[in-house]
Amino acid sequence: MATTNLSYYDKATIPNANSYRFGIVVSEWNDDITENLFLGAQKALLENGAVKEHIIRWNVPGSFELIYGCKKMIETQKVDAIIAIGNVIQGETKHFDFVCDGVTQGIKDLNIKYDIPVIFCVLTDNTKQQSIDRSGGKHGNKGIESAIAAIKMAALREF
């Protein structure tokens, strides 16, 4: 099993986030999962010094729209890092593959085109149970992992 605990981190190694502004773009598809991912990310940001008023949340319809939502946030808001939150679950068809690949490539492209780190907090799971396990269940919360990545990348961006 490749999964580590997504919630674990050594707080002593995390930069203080009090001077950073964060964007969080949240997909409404599977919102029971994405809301838990958001809450995990928000909690981890606040626990590491982020100011609640400096966390900007936007919602988009589905994970594919995370690309445009993050692009628009970069172009219109002053943020130091963005967390893109989504949950794609395999259905009957190949649509899962196209959504996952599209979002992955789109977020990668944003990281290349702009100087704002966009963190990939998109669960791409075979089953709903896998999503539950990774959004506050037995494997932790990917929202926490993504928030820590966002803080670290905001700090790296200052070099």
Q: Which residues in this chain contact ligand LTPLIIQW in the complex, by CB under 6 A?
A: 88-89, 91-93, 95-96, 99
Rg (CA), the chain: 15
Q: Could you tell me how many residues of this chain bind ligand LW54GNZ2 (CB under 6 A)?
A: 13
Give the residue numbers of the binding site: 29, 63-65, 87-89, 92-93, 120, 134
Q: Which residues contact 15 (CB under 8 A, 6 or more apart)?
A: 48, 151, 152, 154, 155
Within 28-133, strands assigned E span: 55-60, 81-89, 118-125
**Residue from 156, 146, 51, 148 nearest 107 by CA:** 146
Partner touching 92 among ligand LW54GNZ2, ligand LTPLIIQW, none, CB below 5 to 8 Å by kind = ligand LTPLIIQW
x/- map, 102-131, ligand LW54GNZ2, by CB under 6 A = ------------------------------
Q: Which of 62, 72, 137, 139 binds ligand LW54GNZ2 (CB under 6 A)?
A: 62
95 is catalytic: yes
10-39 residues near ligand LW54GNZ2, rule: CB under 6 A: 27, 29-30
Provide the strand spans (E) within 17-113: 22-27, 55-60, 81-89
Catalytic annotation, pick one of 95, 113, 138, 157:
95
Beta-ladder partners of 118? 82
Whether the Cβ atoms of residue 66 and residue 106 lie closer than 8 Å to each other: yes
Three-state DSSP at 124 gives strand
Q: Which one of 10-18, 35-43, 63-71, 74-82 is the stretch in contact with ligand LW54GNZ2 (CB under 6 A)?
A: 63-71
DSSP β-ladder status, 55-60 and 22-27: parallel
Would you name the residues annotated as active-site residues? 95
Q: Site residues (CB under 6 A) for ligand LW54GNZ2?
A: 27, 29-30, 61-65, 86-89, 99
